[in-house]
Structure 1
Amino acid sequence: MIYVQLRARVKLAQGETLHVADAAKVLGSEKAGHCSLFCPTAPGVYTLDAIAVAKALKKVFPQEDISLIGAEVCYVHRIKARGKDFLRPVRTAAALLILLLGSALGLTWFHADVNMPQAQADVYAAITGAPPDDVRLITIPYCVGVALGVCVFYAIPFPNQTTPLEVKLTEYQEDMEKAEGKPIE
């Protein structure tokens, strides 16, 4: 008996051969993992059906029973081989600089729009009953709170926890695979 559980996705370089062990977890026979599967060599996203894996294993191991567990489809990403990209650090730094400046301008314009110093003075007066001598008494904790909120949102202090950003990226990845996936035949 050979048990096969397909993985959600697998990434292969353009010249690599797809084996059962790449696309699935196999239990019952070590040789079953080395069985080759057909996959187009052109870059793109392809869907590998569990039945296709079972058929390929049945050809090599006709006497064995094949039991499929879990997902029905594995998405195979054929990745184009890339050479050394010397400009990548420069492009990354430029993108980070643009994002940093954009977010700083967005926060600044938001604070100017809502008259943040006056809003913070009003909050201080509502809590204490007296107008503040210096708005920085509220501005500094507010800035620290915004920074901590960003850190918690991106799970910087908790690297092993799933963040809302990772959840959205996973959903996006799954939607893209469903839309772009071409069946392997």
Structure 2
Amino acid sequence: MGESMYVRLRKNITVKQNSEIRLKDIAFVTGSPNIVNRLGNTFIYQISKKDQSVSVIDGFVVIQQLVDKFPQLDIQLIGQNQTIVTIEQKQKKPSIFLVSVIWLLLFIGSAMAIMNFHYDVSMQEVQQKLHYLLTGDKVTNPLWMQIPYSLGLGVGMILFFNHLFKKRFNDEPSPLEVELFKYQQDLDSYVTYHENNLNSKQNDDQ
């Protein structure tokens, strides 16, 4: 048995169209320093138009290529069994008109949601009663309470999402980032599952 080399695939990478993928691009390699560089430069896959936007490189394919090119080595695959390759697409400049329309729709929708919520829970009546309990006077619009409350809603949303434009307040992920992370995990699982089923069907047909 030859010298042992250990390969751990990355979970996902992003490459440009028509890129050549080598082992060092999709995996961490450890073992003898004299062999790591040679192993890392091994050609694995060529991105083509048929890959469209996503491709999955299976660990067995990687090991098979390494065994064929380095039969004297004992290749050990640890960790991930697949690497999801996301292929960068040509980005178009966003339309200012379209962005403005979407922003306006989101703004109106958010405002309507907040107003409907406050109407459902009778927030104005609650504030009127609080004002009466604290001061003994009955007023229709207790502004000294309503204005700070309205400002507090905006500040609370900024703190909740942990962002003010591109500025972060701390390293803690926001709930939105956590949900996006979960969504990405589900998407990766779906892509991997679909790719494995597709490969199985192709092998059966052969």
Q: TM-score, normalised by structure 2?
A: 0.73
After superposition, where does 1:59-138 map in structure 2 within 5 Å?
59-79=68-88, 81-82=89-90, 85-125=92-132, 128=134, 130-131=136-137, 135-138=142-145
User: CA 1:53 to 1:98, structure 2 compared with 1: closer, same or farther past 3 Å?
Assistant: same
Residue 6 (structure 1) aligned to one of 4, 9, 32: 9
8 Å CA contact 2:21, 2:47 repeated in 1 = no
1:149 is aligned to 2:156: yes
Residue type at the aligned position of 1:94: V
Cα distance in 2 for partners of 1:73, 1:131 equals 69
Q: Which residue pairs with 1:24 in the alignment? A: 27
1:167 is aligned to 2:178: yes
Cα distance in 2 for partners of 1:130, 1:69 equals 72
User: CA 1:141 to 1:171, structure 2 compared with 1: closer, same or farther past 3 Å?
Assistant: same
Cα distance in 1 for partners of 2:21, 2:138 equals 68
- Superposed structure 1 runs of 4+ greater than 4 Å apart: 131-134
Name which structure has the greater RCO, CA cutoff 8 Å, separation 6+.
1
Q: Which residue pairs with 2:18 in the alignment? A: 15
Cα distance in 2 for partners of 1:89, 1:31 equals 49
Deviations 1:139-159 (A, max 9, x none): 123223222221122112425
Number of equivalent positions: 182
User: What SS is found at the alignment partner of 1:38?
Assistant: strand
Residue 180 (structure 1) aligned to one of 186, 191, 198: 191
8 Å CA contact 1:6, 1:25 repeated in 2 = yes
Structure 2 unaligned regions, length at least 5: 200-206
8 Å CA contact 2:18, 2:47 repeated in 1 = no
User: What SS is found at the alignment partner of 1:30?
Assistant: helix
User: CA 1:161 to 1:88, structure 2 compared with 1: closer, same or farther past 3 Å?
Assistant: farther
After superposition, where does 1:31-46 map in structure 2 within 5 Å?
31-38=38-45, 41=48, 42=50, 43-46=52-55
Select the structure that is richer in helix: 2
Task: Using the TM superposition, give the Cα deviation of residue 124 of structure 1 relative to its aligned residue in structure 2, in angstroms.
Answer: 4.2
* Larger Rg computed on CA atoms: 2
Task: Using the TM superposition, give the Cα deviation of residue 60 of structure 1 relative to its aligned residue in structure 2, in angstroms.
Answer: 2.5
Structure 1 unaligned regions, length at least 5: none
Q: TM-score, normalised by structure 1?
A: 0.80
Cα distance in 1 for partners of 2:20, 2:95 equals 29
User: CA 1:92 to 1:112, structure 2 compared with 1: closer, same or farther past 3 Å?
Assistant: same
8 Å CA contact 2:7, 2:30 repeated in 1 = yes
User: What SS is found at the alignment partner of 1:51?
Assistant: helix
User: What SS is found at the alignment partner of 1:160?
Assistant: coil
Cα distance in 1 for partners of 2:109, 2:96 equals 20
User: What SS is found at the alignment partner of 2:172?
Assistant: coil
Task: Using the TM superposition, give the Cα deviation of residue 55 of structure 1 relative to its aligned residue in structure 2, in angstroms.
Answer: 2.2
